[in-house]
């Protein structure tokens, strides 16, 4: 959760079409604050939260399209060191003095505000781990203004379910990009590591998420791990890209789909209690017991 970056990019370098300004999407909330260790810390912890709007420690996400064809995308959260430094300053301030009776927080609301801010922290962890809705606004704009089929496919896949966004391993990525190292691989999903691969070529990969080892191996090989807003800058129409997907039917659940186990010529995996000697080894499994599948 602790990161800070700001990126400005031009979606349409050639100003040939009379585009109109669009809406701005802004979201702000308090950043995650350390959970209080004991009940005596509740008051000081809450006072720190009260100071957040005044010290501009809020989390802000803005995605705005202006008339000068620039898309401003900004996410900023205080780093742990800066946040800890500010909290120490607040603890030394007169507001947090324990002798002040006016700074007491009602006891019946202590658990409520703790639960509320913890839930908000979990919500923003979920939100910023994926960022689907921000990328959705970006690619919905690109689809409407460019009519590119590539952007339409990206927009559709961004809002697919988790089952339909399977991960792609590094070995399959290298296999699909063989001879296409100069292009950008685009994966609407997660890129995972594969320990069976010893040599990783220099690849440019765009994905929703990279595992730590996969990102480290790609960057160590002089490759690039891009985000979809960076892809919109480099290839707004999807030029010089290779759109890839993970194996959607490689799940364990898919092996149980199909004709019922026991039907002739059925290769569907049965739901068995165990794989031992005494479990479903008779009728339908041997010629001497009626028939054999």
Among 97-101, 141-145, 181-185, 225-229, the range scoring the smallest mean pLDDT is 97-101
Rounded distance between C-alpha atoms, residue 222 and residue 25, angstroms: 35
Among 48-52, 86-90, 218-222, the range scoring the smallest mean pLDDT is 48-52
The answer to whether residues 79 and 21 belong to one domain is: yes
User: How many domains does the chain divide into?
Assistant: 2
Q: In this model, does residue 70 exceed pLDDT 60? A: no
Phi first, then psi, for residue 243 (nearest 5°) are -85, 120
Task: Kindly state the tokens that stand for 271.
Answer: 């739901």
Rounded distance between C-alpha atoms, residue 186 and residue 190, angstroms: 11
DSSP-assigned states of every residue in the chain? ---EEEEEEES-SS--S------EEEEEEPPP-PPPSSGGGHHHHHHHHHTTTTTT--EEEEEEE-TTSEEEEEEE---HHHHHHHHHHHHHSGGG-TT-STTPPPGGGHHHHHHHHHHHHHHHHHHHHH-HHHHHHHHHHHHHHH--HHHHHHHHHHTS-STTS--EEHHHHHHHTTT-TTSEEEEEEEEE--TT-------EEEEEEE-HHHHHHHHHTT-EEE-HHHHHHH-TT-TTEEEE---TT-STGGGG-SSPTTSTT--PPP--S--STTSS-STBBSTTSS-B-
- Give the tens place of pLDDT for each residue, 176-193: 999 999 999 999 999 999
Rounded distance between C-alpha atoms, residue 284 and residue 138, angstroms: 55
Residue 255 located in a structural domain: no
CA distance to 34, 63, 218, 250, 286, per residue, from 206 (Å): 33, 20, 12, 22, 51
Q: What is the pTM of this model?
A: 0.55
**Confidence tier at 236 by pLDDT (50, 70, 90):** very high
The answer to whether residues 40 and 146 belong to one domain is: no
The answer to whether residues 16 and 100 belong to one domain is: yes
| Residue indicated by tokens 């703790």 | 114
The answer to whether residues 106 and 40 belong to one domain is: yes
Q: ∠ CA 27-31-32 to the nearest 5 degrees?
A: 135
Tell me the angle at which helices 80-92 and 42-50 cross, rounded to the nearest 10 degrees. 110
Among 17-31, 35-49, 64-78, 255-269, the range scoring the smallest mean pLDDT is 17-31
The answer to whether residues 70 and 93 belong to one domain is: yes
Residue 83 located in a structural domain: yes
The answer to whether residues 156 and 118 belong to one domain is: no
Which tops the pLDDT comparison, 188 or 34? 188
CATH of the domain at 177: 3.100.10.10
Residue 224 located in a structural domain: yes
Rounded distance between C-alpha atoms, residue 157 and residue 245, angstroms: 10
The answer to whether residues 156 and 199 belong to one domain is: yes
Residue 261 located in a structural domain: no
Residue 269 located in a structural domain: no
Task: Kindly state the tokens that stand for 60.
Answer: 């802000």
The range of the structural domain enclosing residue 155 comes to 134-244
* pLDDT (0 to 100) of residue 28: 32
């Amino acid at each position: 959760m602790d990161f800070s970056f700001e990126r400005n990019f031009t979606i349409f370098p050639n100003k040939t079409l009379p585009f109109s300004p669009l809406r701005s999407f802004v979201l702000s909330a308090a950043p995650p604050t350390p959970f209080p260790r004991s009940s005596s810390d509740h008051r000081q912890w809450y006072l720190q939260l009260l100071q957040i709007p005044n010290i501009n420690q809020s989390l802000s996400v803005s995605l705005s399209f202006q008339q000068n064809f620039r898309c401003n995308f900004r996410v900023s959260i205080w780093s742990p060191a800066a946040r800890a430094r500010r909290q120490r300053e607040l603890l030394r301030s007169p507001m947090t003095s324990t002798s002040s009776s006016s700074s007491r927080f009602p006891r019946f609301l202590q658990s409520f505000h703790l639960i509320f801010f913890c839930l908000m922290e979990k919500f923003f962890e979920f939100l910023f781990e994926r960022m689907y809705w921000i990328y959705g606004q970006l690619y919905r704009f690109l689809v409407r203004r460019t009519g590119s089929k590539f952007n339409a496919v990206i927009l559709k896949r961004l809002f697919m379910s988790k089952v339909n966004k399977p991960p792609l391993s590094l070995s399959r990525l290298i296999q699909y990009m063989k001879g296409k190292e100069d292009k950008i691989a685009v994966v609407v999903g997660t890129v995972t590591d594969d320990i069976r691969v010893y040599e990783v070529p220099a690849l440019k990969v765009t994905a929703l998420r990279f595992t730590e080892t996969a990102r480290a191996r790609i960057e160590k090989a002089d490759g690039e791990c891009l985000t979809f807003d960076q892809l919109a800058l480099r290839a707004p129409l999807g030029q010089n890209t290779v759109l890839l997907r993970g194996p959607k039917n490689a799940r364990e659940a898919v092996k149980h789909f199909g004709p019922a186990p026991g039907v002739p010529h059925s290769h569907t995996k049965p739901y068995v209690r165990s794989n031992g000697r005494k479990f479903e080894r008779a009728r339908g499994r041997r010629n001497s017991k009626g028939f054999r599948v």
